[in-house]
Structure 1
Amino acid sequence: MNSTLTKSNAGFLKVAEDIFIYASYYDDRKEKLFIRNVIITISAKNFNHQLWCHFWNPTINRWKSSRLKFYETCENHLKTFAAYIGSCKIPSNVQYNHIHISNVEEANNEEMKNIIPVIQHSNKSEVKGDLAVCVPPLFGNVNSLRLLEFIEFSIILGFEHFTFYSQNVTNETLKILKIYQKEGLVTILDWPLPVQEDWIWYHGQSAAVWDCLFRNMYVFKHVAFVDIDEIIFPRYDEILPNFIDKTIKLYHEQKPEGGEICAFRFQSAYFDPLQDTIISDIFDISDNIERHLVTLNSISRKEDFSTVRTKMIVDPIKIFEIGIHHVSKPMEEHFQVENINPEIAYIHHYRKCQTNFGGRCVGRITDDHARRYRNRLLTRLKWRFYHLFKEIL
């Protein structure tokens, strides 16, 4: 376990018994300024901890303290540990490029062991791009071809950057991601859970989602939260940034009285998956790759759309908490979630249909919409294989 953190975040920092911090962020979206800390700790039913953030005041040459307030994720699922945002108001006349966190209110230099850098994206920052992707923690044996297909298709649809959280993935997966990282397309963050996997919901997914939300705030205008077996397809626009711009414009034309969109919520449809292909088994990439691609070959889907297993594209500066399938808490009451009609855009979910969460697995139709991108996808993937992946084939 780390004794300090860096802005690249190599792991979790234990700041007190059963309290682990992944990253700290400067938040100036409200009149009062805050440091938001992404935390994993005991769930609320067993929680009785108190923490303080300590800031150095150079004017009086001493530490000033601020009580940390815990806000628990809405998606704990009755597990022993949960994700939290720990918020500390920033006192006046202090430095906040680094903070210290402890379980005592009065701080002194001898006790300052937990040094945490503050990642500072603010409303004065210059937004770098339009659309990024946050992917929940990857773990175990990730199918390489599916990963490549997801990244390349997402780029075609207008995504500019991907954030991946890596938890015990294979060397092959890391090699693929690092190639994209060298090109500036991917950020890879280690995700070494500080607690047993069965003590927290699904690999600490809620904490990773929260971290990615704050990490991309004021960096990208919009951020999608999807898994690698999910692709959001607009039906009439070629790329998603155009779809988003048109949807926002139409929203303001139809609702001139006010309100702002903070998120777009997309319904999903299950597409029959293909049997996974091992990338090293593809002998002649040029001739055979197309028949192994799930997006071009899985064209039978469930007729009904899921209104529960939805996913989001959000404006990160307008969101305080995002759940896995919904916006849990916008920053302001007048921020609205726009529910997208599946006639104009929806998620292709390439996995076996599941009847939980109210799903029905009856009735199937043919849907080959993804094939309109066939030539571009094949061109990109062939280029990847020939020029970048010789070292892992």
Structure 2
Amino acid sequence: MVRVINFKRIIITGLCVYILLTVYFLLFIVPMDQADGQYKETGHSWHHGGKRIDVAEKPGDVVSEDNSVNSRLKRLHAERTTKLVKPKIPGTPRPTRLGTIRRRTDDLFQEFVKPSKQHLNFTEIAPQVFAFSAFFDDRYGTSYVRVVAIAPSGRAKRNTGLYCVFNNNDTTEMVYYETCENHLQANAYYMLSCAVPESVAMKFDGINPLAIAPSKNASPSRYKLISVINNRGRFGSDNERQMGRFAVCIPPLFGKINPLRLVEFIELSRLLGSNHFTFYTYFVSEDVMRVLKYYERQGVVTVMPWYIPVKKRIWYKGQSAAVGDCLLRNMHVNHLVAFNDIDEFIVPRSNKTWSSFLEYLHQQQSSKGVKTGNIAVYRFKSAFFEVSTHAKAQNVSMEQQRFQLNMDKFVSLSRTRRTKRFSRIRTKMLAYPTRVFELGIHHLSKQIKEEYFCLEVQPDVASLHHYRMCDRVYDMSCDEYVEDRTALNFKYSLVNNTVRVLKQLKSTEDFV
């Protein structure tokens, strides 16, 4: 029996398939391409850890100064038909397609800075153990090399199996010290320590190469080399060192940042007393890098490119490791170091500068019998500033009106209402690097001597101004506000200094 072909059924089936494919294309493929357009603008540049990434016109074509990074991204783009991976620039809207992008932005960037391909400014000294920096520490009877490292959690206070090999072939084993603020993440910040033989310590120069061996009897071909910084040894004397009075450390900077906010932060902090800043740049825009480089050329800022060489989770872009590095980096260089974000300022109530505030505070504490020479850290309670109360100037000269308009663009000058309650948990600190072994994000974790202590500063003397929306967590209340115009003491100097800097950057209109 001859089988009759039903052409009508075939045609109807084909039309149905065509309609389904068309609907799929319109609903999924087109929105995906439109989402691409949200992320990529022709000629737009971002910096990841300090390396420039130029976003080209075609979706997926990312040009980097690093060939290995570029080749990795090209391979990811070539695999798009089987596995979609799209970079998301911080601050842009999420794509409308649900389920299209399962991998977070952080994970993508970990892919193209995978340590097995390129170490960048981290060195893999052992499997999954990455060293960022190393410092010579002579604050104890025995001298040590302190290595700032990232490694999997759960290796607290035990031997590493790694050995420091010094230039006279002496070897000492490294010991893990897991720091306190890892928040149950898969990876943690460790301070790795190895004792320095006395004969070596006496000859330790400013910058010293150090070999790390995977075992005590490993051949030199298996050594990993790192540089150890000795801030005391870099200068012949304290006078030659010219130690600064105050500095500020800013943990990993990332995301969409208004360059005006950055200039405001630096200029107001300078008026308060800071003479140097250390920024850790994780992923910032071209405009932000231009501001940082401007200050770096003046010797005011040090930019530390910050790559996280791990794929699994670590707390807040490795903030604790950046704090630990900055603490050791400023040891024997700056007397006091503040640790805060760019929307935070330590502001004295009556005294305009940190120097005059500390002089007053020491007199106050000495009268109570407190040994101010044993203070390791000053801890400041915080309040949120979030409501603008400045009215436009009326019945004043044109010059005063223009100044008022300029002042309204500064968060520290335009927001004068703060929460009545101060947080005792979300605090920030001003620390003596030579007296602190480990510093937490909001507290002193460990001082180098038992007699050293943390001094809690009362808000009527000085407090932390935090310019952001009030967050109802921990001990914070967002229900009551009071007027606080302390920051207005700096209004003329702050506006004039910031405008001067923006003019020198020749992009005032773009920033404000």
TM-score w.r.t. structure 2 length?
0.69
- Bigger shift: residues 254-263 or 292-301: 254-263
> Residue by residue, what CA displacement relative to the aligned partner does 1:207-253 show, whole Å, maximum 9, x if unpaired?
00000000000101100000001011101111112212332344344
Unpaired runs of at least 5, structure 2 = 1-113, 389-401
Instruction: Determine helix, strand or coil for the equivalent of 1:50.
Output: strand
Unpaired runs of at least 5, structure 1 = 58-62, 275-284
Displacement after TM superposition at 1:289 (Å): 2.8
> Match for residue 93 of structure 1?
199
Equivalent position to 1:110, from 221, 246, 250 = 221
In the alignment, structure 1 residue 230 sits paired with structure 2 residue 344: yes
CA distance in 1, matches of 2:438, 2:385: 29
- Bigger shift: residues 373-382 or 313-322: 373-382
In the alignment, structure 1 residue 345 sits paired with structure 2 residue 456: no
- Aligned CA distance change for structure 1 residues 361 and 21 (closer, same or farther; 3 Å): same
Equivalent position to 1:169, from 263, 284, 287 = 284
Instruction: Determine helix, strand or coil for the equivalent of 1:93.
Output: helix
Equivalent position to 1:82, from 181, 184, 188 = 188
CA distance in 2, matches of 1:273, 1:92: 58
> Match for residue 142 of structure 2?
32
> Match for residue 255 of structure 1?
369
Equivalent position to 1:51, from 140, 158, 162 = 162
CA distance in 1, matches of 2:467, 2:382: 10
- Aligned CA distance change for structure 1 residues 257 and 116 (closer, same or farther; 3 Å): closer
Check whether the contact 2:155–2:176 (CA below 8 A) recurs between aligned residues: no
Displacement after TM superposition at 1:93 (Å): 2.6
CA distance in 1, matches of 2:503, 2:276: 22
Counterpart amino acid of residue 152 in structure 2: I
Instruction: Determine helix, strand or coil for the equivalent of 1:71.
Output: coil
Displacement after TM superposition at 1:376 (Å): 0.8
CA distance in 1, matches of 2:154, 2:354: 39
In the alignment, structure 1 residue 64 sits paired with structure 2 residue 170: yes
Identity, % of aligned pairs?
37
Equivalent position to 1:181, from 296, 299, 310 = 296
- Bigger shift: residues 94-103 or 81-90: 94-103
CA distance in 2, matches of 1:237, 1:341: 14
> Match for residue 281 of structure 1?
none
Instruction: Determine helix, strand or coil for the equivalent of 1:32.
Output: coil
Counterpart amino acid of residue 453 in structure 2: Q
Displacement after TM superposition at 1:299 (Å): 1.1
> Match for residue 271 of structure 1?
385
In the alignment, structure 1 residue 20 sits paired with structure 2 residue 130: yes
Q: Where does 1:183-332 land on structure 2 (aligned, <5 Å)? A: 183-196=298-311, 199-255=313-369, 260-272=374-386, 288-332=405-449
TM-score w.r.t. structure 1 length?
0.89
Check whether the contact 2:130–2:150 (CA below 8 A) recurs between aligned residues: yes
Check whether the contact 1:300–1:366 (CA below 8 A) recurs between aligned residues: yes
Higher RCO (C-alpha 8 Å, min separation 6): 1
Instruction: Determine helix, strand or coil for the equivalent of 1:254.
Output: coil
Number of residue equivalences: 373
Counterpart amino acid of residue 160 in structure 1: N
Check whether the contact 2:159–2:173 (CA below 8 A) recurs between aligned residues: no
> Match for residue 60 of structure 1?
none
- Structure with greater strand share of residues: 1
Displacement after TM superposition at 1:324 (Å): 0.3
CA distance in 2, matches of 1:266, 1:229: 15
Counterpart amino acid of residue 198 in structure 2: S
Q: Where does 1:1-20 land on structure 2 (aligned, <5 Å)? A: 11-20=121-130
Q: CA RMSD in A?
A: 2.5
Counterpart amino acid of residue 102 in structure 1: A
- Aligned CA distance change for structure 1 residues 382 and 180 (closer, same or farther; 3 Å): same
Displacement after TM superposition at 1:148 (Å): 1.1
